[in-house]
Structure 1
Amino acid sequence: MPAASAPEQSLVPRPGELSTDPQRSCVLSAATRIGASPGAEHVAAWLRTRLGAATGFPFPPPSDDDGPDTASILLRLDHESGVAPEGYQLVSGPDGVTVTASDAAGVFYGAQTLLQLLPYDVHRSAPSHSTTWELPSTRITDQPRFGWRGCMLDVARHFMPKHEVLRFIDLLAMHKLNVLHLHLTDDQGWRVEIKRYPKLTEVGAWRRESQVGPTRPPAFDGRPHGGYYTQEDIREIVSYAAARHITVVPEIDVPGHSQAAIAAYPYLGEGDPVEVGCEWGIIDRVLNVSDTTLEFYRAVFDEVMELFPSTYICVGGDECPKRQWRASATAQQRIREEGLADEDELQSWFIRQFAEYFAEHGRRLLGWDEILEGGLPEGATVASWRGTQGGIAAARAGHDVVMCPTGTNYLDYRQSDSPEEPVSVGPVLTLADVYTAEPIPPELASAGGERVRGAQVNVWTEHMDTPRSVDYMTFPRLSAFSEVVWSAGERAYAEFLPRLERHLARLDAAGVEYRPLAGPHPWQQRPALG
């Protein structure tokens, strides 16, 4: 475990303004109270639970009987405070701690910083009874740089049990991220219950086996895999995230990456029936473009929109091969009927049907940057993953952009060129690479940068078959990313690294099996899959 150090010197992400007085401090005890102004009560309830688990203290609301020596934590929601949206001011001293914000999200992020000012054991789930809960006298003014601070979690390739998703949400919240992009469907699995079409989970949620490693020809494990979230599970996940000021953005892939749906309902596809995909990569199977398929997915999205209140619904739109459409009489007829130039415009037409449908329901379409091909639907937001060019083109055309290029934001990529890394996928993406990345490309620095709503890292799980492996690939690179999207001003990796080394003690206390900075532990290696 990293050596203990002053918590105020290990805040991640770095706050905007920070000053401390190490000669004065605040000590929490069984007598400490947590109070909240109207509108901040739910944050107080969350903080009471989090602090109570680690300290064993009750943290009741303030009482008229409190003596003058009773330290207090006050969460103030003041819409006239002048604090920026999602920002906060935190002041601590011998009398207690006050967090002030203009919205509830800011109160929550101030409470997260309060936890980081306390000893690292505050991130444990039960008291050790050996810690003095002391924090320095501190004054912090802080606010986020971007409004979209996200992480895409792929639960389609390898299913993650619900309780692990909830734990992952807590880790995002610890790092002040506010979007969980949940990748729910793909060729290899359908993970959300749709009551109108039960075979999507009865058939589509299960595959015969899984490819192991990236080798060619592919090798398989011979072990069935699957799972899905009931609608009640989804409501729980969404509610749990909302209490931590995280929006869950669902992704239902169309028209490519849809083999699991086609396996469940063969009439959606082009050609013969297929099984749920077992191999990774781009698969030729795509949805057909019939009215029946459009109506099927409108019904799917009706249930998705009822489950997810997010403004954004992601339809994927990436890596859609056109071979089947070129050979399809139905697709060619649609091209003629709609006056389209080619299969690229056919894909754009297909995506536009749902952009318009979402707009009718007060929602917005999000898609990977391939939705630019053939024309971008009005109001669509682009997730720029094939480098930054898609994001640049979308921003210049007046569309909002979320930056997530493979070269800096793909956390399935190996973390060094050492043969000890568990699976050698993609180019090397180091901790420093993630930290030094800039979400706004230089081409948009003078104009168009305002269209970059933020950025996200993507956790694709083809080669992460357990939550332990997700921990290893995600952390501490996600810790570095959190500072990229939260903290304004210049960043210096040499300044960040000592803070991160101390921050790792928090991850240890929280039970995160991150990749050590010096390289993987022996049990984290899987050399046979390189």
Structure 2
Amino acid sequence: MIVPKPVRYEIRQGRFVLDRDTSVTASPPLGEVASWLRGELSPVVGGELLPGPGSGTITLGLRDDLPPEAYRLSVAGDGVVIEGGGPAGVFYGAQSLRQLLPPAAFRKASAGGPLVLPAVLIEDEPRFGWRGCILDVARHFMVKQDVLRFIDLMALHKLNVLHLHLTDDQGWRVEIKRYPRLTEVGAWRKESQTGWNGPMDGRPHGGYYTQDDIREIVAYAARRHITVVPEIDLPGHTQAAIAAYPELGNLDTPLEVRTTWGVGVNVLNVEESTIAFFQNVFDEVLELFPSPYVCVGGDECRKDQWRDSPAARRRIRELGLRDEEELQSWLIRRFDDYLAERGRRLVGWDEILEGGLAPGAVVASWRGDLGAVSAARAGHDVITCPNTSVYFDYRQGTGEEEPVPFGTVLTLEDVYAFDPIPGELRDDPAEARVLGSQCGLWSELIDSNRHMDYMAFPRVAAFAETVWSPPARDLADFRLRLTAHLPRLAAVGVEYRPESGPLPWQTRPGVPGRPEDRARWQAKIDAWTSNIRS
């Protein structure tokens, strides 16, 4: 009952007893994975698992004949062996081992006795190398502890890229020491719009991550084999930065951090001083994020202000460009060159194709498949993330009972049917240019951690299977495994959306609901997870 589905899962005769005398042993390169696994299992057995020999041993090892993220998990009466092509593969094997335990084991509470694991052989490896999730902390800020919690949930589903959307019109969320007003001013807005076009709520909102916070997030993710890819938007989605430093914009009048949603008109100017400003920003960002990939946005940049700007029009003439579209491409190329000189690769949304693509850029294709197909055939790497298939801010049902009935309906079945390879690229040599895919949790209308749970799960579980498992789909089999997986999510406190629709308090984000409703839901969770040996 593993999610995402392994390549091979074979049930064998016998069982392994996990108790406080069990040991976890590993070679030095796997010491961190072993430490993590002991931390997960020790509370469940009611004692610290030892690194040396015991009554039964979980052995972690490396194999040269496996790819880095592949693993082989064998559970037998005399022990458990997890072998991987690299530490990441062993970590994923350990995650699968956890899913062989009863759901209550995920609570990290002592069972008061031994646990029985079925004897199995699992051989597994991911279909794609880029298995990501976009977490938008710019629109609604998510405190550090909640980001760490989300990283653990990603790791449980064998996702390996956290695309952290750190800046936008509505907020700047990362400390830049050279430019303190980015967070002193840009991290705070006076109120927020309710719904997509609703009234203002009258409540100040804000927050940001210190550089030490970012280091902790990046290190925490790395220990779970997740790369954190930062996104610093330009030239559009920059009103928060312009509010902090007006000289970055095109207007003489000051701006506030934006309080409404949608595509704004305020964009960066194209002066050398503005380019230098953001290169200085990236100097600090690159120190914080070792990721080989850095996203600069490039999406939804309205050109109205450039058309009205004498300075922008002069720039177009000086550079011999055709129009404002080519001006944006010129700007993106400047940052592509900057990042390439520092050994990094630029990622941009598919709008960077308009006006000519920067040579080394990776395209995140969100507006259907057209951008992915044209970029891949032109020899560029691609990440597919079409909004109609993997944007999880979109509603999950047709009923008005959805907390915020926004966007087209995107059901669990729709997500499970998604294929990261666009149809036009199948059996095309350019198919190899698809690095993988990522789902999106855009937070304009997700204003609490509980609402994030509701929008993300169980759709994240379905998405994880599309990027990890072989392309063949079996919805009935997935539903069967999901039935076993949901109690695991419940055991770690994830308030996912039930298939039957939202529970009474889930129809209004952030409202706890009636005590009797929550008591009924807790009773259901307890019934699922009460027998830890089952």
TM-score range, shorter chain: over 0.9
Contact 2:71–2:89 (8 Å) recurs in 1:
yes
The answer to whether 1:519 aligns with 2:501 is: yes
Q: Select 2:474's aligned residue among 480, 492, 500.
A: 492
Q: Which residue of 1 aligns with 2:526?
A: none
The answer to whether 1:43 aligns with 2:28 is: no
The answer to whether 1:343 aligns with 2:324 is: yes
Q: Which residue of 2 aligns with 1:214?
A: 196
Structure 1 residue matching 2:28: 3-state secondary structure: coil
* 1:127 Cα deviation from its structure 2 partner: 2.4
The answer to whether 1:365 aligns with 2:350 is: no
Structure 2 residue matching 1:458: 3-state secondary structure: strand
The answer to whether 1:396 aligns with 2:388 is: no
Correspondences of 1:499-514 after superposition (within 5 Å): 499-514=481-496
Matched AA of 2:14: R
Structure 2: distance between partners of 1:109 and 1:122: 17
Scaled by the length of structure 2, the TM-score of the pair is 0.94
Q: Which residue of 2 aligns with 1:235?
A: 215
Q: Which residue of 2 aligns with 1:3?
A: none
Q: Which residue of 2 aligns with 1:248?
A: 228
Structure 2: distance between partners of 1:377 and 1:505: 46
Contact 1:206–1:227 (8 Å) recurs in 2:
yes
Correspondences of 1:469-488 after superposition (within 5 Å): 469-488=451-470
Structure 1: distance between partners of 2:271 and 2:509: 46
Matched AA of 1:100: E
Structure 2: distance between partners of 1:35 and 1:223: 52
The answer to whether 1:112 aligns with 2:89 is: no
* 1:501 Cα deviation from its structure 2 partner: 1.4
Q: Which residue of 1 aligns with 2:243?
A: 263
* 1:125 Cα deviation from its structure 2 partner: 3.3
Contact 2:169–2:240 (8 Å) recurs in 1:
yes
Q: Which residue of 2 aligns with 1:31?
A: 21
Contact 2:71–2:123 (8 Å) recurs in 1:
yes
Correspondences of 1:421-436 after superposition (within 5 Å): 421-436=402-417
Matched AA of 2:233: D
Contact 1:420–1:527 (8 Å) recurs in 2:
no
Q: Which residue of 2 aligns with 1:60?
A: 50
Matched AA of 1:455: S
The answer to whether 1:453 aligns with 2:435 is: yes
Structure 1 residue matching 2:326: 3-state secondary structure: helix
The answer to whether 1:300 aligns with 2:281 is: yes
Structure 1: distance between partners of 2:498 and 2:441: 18
Structure 1: distance between partners of 2:328 and 2:101: 52
* 1:101 Cα deviation from its structure 2 partner: 0.9
* 1:528 Cα deviation from its structure 2 partner: 13
Matched AA of 1:86: E
* 1:24 Cα deviation from its structure 2 partner: 1.1
Q: Which residue of 1 aligns with 2:154?
A: 172
The answer to whether 1:202 aligns with 2:169 is: no
Scaled by the length of structure 1, the TM-score of the pair is 0.95
* 1:300 Cα deviation from its structure 2 partner: 0.2
Matched AA of 2:240: A
Q: Which residue of 1 aligns with 2:522?
A: none
* 1:53 Cα deviation from its structure 2 partner: 2.8
Structure 2: distance between partners of 1:61 and 1:526: 48
Q: Which residue of 2 aligns with 1:187?
A: 169
Structure 2: distance between partners of 1:389 and 1:492: 27
Correspondences of 1:33-182 after superposition (within 5 Å): 33-63=23-53, 66=54, 70-78=55-63, 80=64, 82-129=65-112, 132-182=114-164
* 1:395 Cα deviation from its structure 2 partner: 0.2
Q: Which residue of 1 aligns with 2:530?
A: none
Contact 2:45–2:114 (8 Å) recurs in 1:
no
* 1:221 Cα deviation from its structure 2 partner: 0.5
Structure 2: distance between partners of 1:121 and 1:73: 20
* 1:56 Cα deviation from its structure 2 partner: 2.2
Contact 1:180–1:249 (8 Å) recurs in 2:
yes
Structure 2: distance between partners of 1:132 and 1:334: 72
Matched AA of 2:98: L
Runs (4+) of structure 1 exceeding 6 A deviation are none
Structure 1 residue matching 2:337: 3-state secondary structure: helix
- Report how many residues are paired: 509
Cα deviation, 1:109-129, whole Å, max 9, x if unaligned, reads: 000000001111221133253
Contact 1:248–1:310 (8 Å) recurs in 2:
yes
Matched AA of 2:386: P
* 1:517 Cα deviation from its structure 2 partner: 1.1
Matched AA of 2:46: G
Percent identity, please: 60
Matched AA of 1:200: L
